[in-house]
Amino acid sequence: MKLKAIRISNFRSYYETTTVDVDDLTAIIGRNDVGKSSILEALEVFFNSQIIKIEQGDSCVHSDSKIVEISCVFSELPNALTIDARAETTFADEFLTSTDDELEIVKRYDCNLKTPKEEVFAKASHPTVEGAADLLLLKNPQLKERAVNLGVDLTGIDQRSNVSLRQAIRNHLGDLALAESLIPLKEDDGKKVWEQIQKSLPIFALFQADRPSKDDDPEVSDPMKIAVQAAVKDIAAELEAIKEKVQASAMEVARRTIEKLAEMDPNLANQLTPTFKAEPKWDGFKLSLSGDDDIPINKRGSGVRRLILLNFFRAEAERRRETCVSQRVIYAIEEPESSQHPDNQVMLIKSLLDLSNDPNTQVLLTTHVPSVAAQIPIESVRLVVRNADNRPIVEAGSDATYEKAVESLGVLPDKRAQLAIYLEGPNDYEFLIRACTKLKATDDTLINLETDHRIAWVITGGGNLKHWVEKQYLATAQLVEVHIYDSDDQANPKYQKQVDEVNNRGDGSIAFLTRKRELENYIHPNAVSAELGVAMTHTDWCDVPSLFAEQVHIASGSPNDWNKLDDDTQGSKESRAKKRLNTTVLDRMTVTELDQQDGTGEIRSWLEAIRDRVN
């Protein structure tokens, strides 16, 4: 199940119901004390109620009501729902989904109570006609009695099966008068539904900026705990037979973390030894990172603790890229830049971006630091601001939102820029900086596109906050330009006219059209096949993202044929495929493979043109 949105009502400063859409990467941006952390903590309450528990004081002080609601909306639901040993059903067949075929689970808390208790509901397009609205709350004898009273023909119906009885009753009633309803999940088959949902929920891991210092400080132990939880849940059916495999998997995460840490602080890395503090038990393995003489890591400075956390995410991004991990995990990180050098901040955000490219990983973070916010893609931004009544509102990424973010956070353009590179979208940016890194290893005259301050990026179809700022100020900067656009159509390139206009300016600017369909066609089939685990070949003019998305869909085990998916669903999957191709797949390529796939040296010629136009 994939988290699509969270809704908060009457929780702390969120008086009115507020919806926050959640993507693979979601960055909650805003000034201090505007309500960013409350969103992550509401998710912690929903999923775990461990680090953060609901309290009496969590209801909004401006409301007369003491009822708090936290809802989560999920897509990519399990294909089957097993609440009856005699018959399988689905969320849709039990009318537990919305009109968009998504599952919304509502948790309600009564903060009138000293210890608020949790009530769980499904909000769905559900039958409201008399006789069908409460079927999930009825026991088997009650369902039989209901069927008899309604005159339902039970011939051929297995009356021992609640699923079959409910279906027979609904079929008999005909028009069910569907309407949005709250269905309690606390009794009988409703309770069984919730038990099945809990098994499919993603693991949610919250890493806060401020934590109390104590032995087994969660800031250090939680990453290892999350790694173990994911491994155990993923192989729960085989748990008894593979205890050693779980231990090895967790230790591998610790080892990779230390290896990454050694690249930044070898002395600290040499002091750490991954150690199980107790014999593994099925209620949880206990893995920690111990320093010299068993000195707890929490006795070190907050910067050291966050440095270990940083390298956990770097290691996890690498592990998930290299292995097939089916358990979905949501990492929520509050102020990841806290106590870190600016160089480490950039490295951390890059690792979180890499993590978010994994199909079974979602990343949420909060920040108010301009240099961190500037790296976030437009579609991932959620800006939190206060309205005229001083209540928080959340705005999704758009040009209007970005203008507010620039004003709120003080993001400024780098005025050292000499050259503007125009690309069609953020995926093209990812391709070019990665290709440049590979080719620069064999040609030191090329410049580092990712870090060189002389380069300004204009992502015409999106990008991140930094790109948006540059796009605005470049309108009057009159810089020399390099344009690189996809041909798309072999006979009639989409941007031929614009390319000709740039090349005819006579001011040193230059524009290129790809000699293949698009940049994804320059990715070597070996890297694509290695990422998929099955062979996939492509030509210079085929639609690589579509082919890749189809293979990912098939590998997911979905019962739905690719060609029968609607355009929006296919488009969404192809968008994720483009992001993955231009990041994790491209990272698999060698320089030799890049040169093989780019037989005429186009990419090198683009990079040389960029190099030759800066001082």
pLDDT in tens, 157-171: 999 999 999 999 999
3-class DSSP state of 483: strand
Tell which CATH architecture fits domain 203-376. Answer: 3-Layer(aba) Sandwich (3.40)
**Which pLDDT does position 138 carry in this prediction?**
93
Among the listed residues 290, 230, 284, the one whose alpha carbon sits nearest the alpha carbon of residue 254? 290
Of the two residues 46 and 311, the one the predictor is more confident about is 46
Quick one: CA torsion of 458, 460, 464, 466, rounded to 10 degrees? 30
C-alpha 222 chain-centroid distance: 19
Tell me what pLDDT residue 214 has.
45
Q: What is the pLDDT of residue 309?
A: 72
Q: pTM score, two decimals?
A: 0.75
Question: Does 316 or 79 have the greater pLDDT score?
Answer: 79
Structure confidence at residue 89 (pLDDT) = 93
pLDDT at position 341 is 73
Burial group, residue 193, by CB count within 10 angstroms (0-12, 13-18, 19+): buried
Give residue 219's pLDDT.
47
| The pLDDT of residue 279 is above 70 | no
Residue 116 predicted with pLDDT over 80? yes
Residue 220 pLDDT class (50, 70, 90 cuts):
very low
**What is the band of 239 on the pLDDT scale with cuts at 50, 70, 90?**
low
> How many Å apart are CA 583 and CA 487, to the nearest integer?
21
Report the pLDDT value the prediction gives residue 282, as an integer from 0 to 100: 54
- Residues 465, 373: contact at Cβ < 8 Å? yes
Specify the DSSP class assigned to residue 210.
-
User: What's the pLDDT at 326?
Assistant: 66
**144-160 pLDDT tens trace:** 999 999 999 999 999 99
**Which pLDDT score is estimated for 284?**
57
| pLDDT recorded at residue 73 | 97
For 443-493, how does the pLDDT look when each residue is reduced to its tens digit (9 = 90+)? Answer: 999 999 988 989 999 888 777 777 777 787 787 788 999 999 999 999 999
pLDDT confidence band for 177 (50 / 70 / 90): very high
Structure tokens at 401: 């939102």
SS3 274: strand
Q: Is the pLDDT of residue 277 over 80?
A: no
Least confident of 21-35, 64-78, 247-261, 425-439: 247-261
pLDDT at residue 510 in the model: 96
> What was the pLDDT predicted at 491?
93
pLDDT in tens, 380-426: 999 999 988 889 999 997 878 878 888 888 877 778 899 999 999 88
Task: Count other Cβ atoms within 10 Å, centred on residue 66.
Answer: 16
Residue 97 has pLDDT above 90, yes or no: yes
Query: What integer best gives the mean pLDDT of the chain?
Result: 87
**Average confidence (pLDDT) over 351-361:** 84
- Name the pLDDT band for 94 (thresholds 50, 70, 90): very high
Task: Round to whole Å and give the CA distance between 1 and 74.
Answer: 6
Collapsing DSSP states into helix, strand and coil, what is residue 398?
coil
Token reading at 378? 């437009």
Provide the CA 59 distance to its chain's centre, in angstroms.
Answer: 28
Q: Which two tokens stand for residue 326?
A: 């089916």
pLDDT at 294: 64
Please check whether residue 375 is in contact with residue 468, taking contact to mean a CB–CB distance below 8 angstroms: no
Q: What is the pLDDT of residue 240?
A: 57
So what's the pLDDT on residue 109? 97
Confidence at residue 213, expressed as pLDDT on a 0 to 100 scale: 41
In the chain, where the domains are located: 2-22+34-200, 203-376, 419-515+601-611, 520-597
Mean pLDDT of 589-614: 96
Phi, psi of 539 (to 5 degrees): -95, 180
d(CA 535, CA 530): 8
Q: What is the structure's pLDDT at 377?
A: 84
Per residue in 33-77, pLDDT (tens digit) is: 899 999 999 999 999 988 899 999 999 998 999 999 999 999 999
Quote the pLDDT of residue 215: 43
* Cα separation, 510 vs 525, whole angstroms: 30
Lowest mean pLDDT among 342-356, 445-459, 506-520, 551-565: 342-356
Q: Which of 193-197, 231-235, 542-546 has the lowest mean pLDDT?
A: 231-235
In 3D, which of 512, 614, 429, 572 has the Cα closest to residue 76?
Answer: 572
CA angle 245, 292, 243 (to 5 degrees): 10
Name which residue leads in pLDDT, 187 or 95.
95
What letter represents residue 243's amino acid? Answer: K
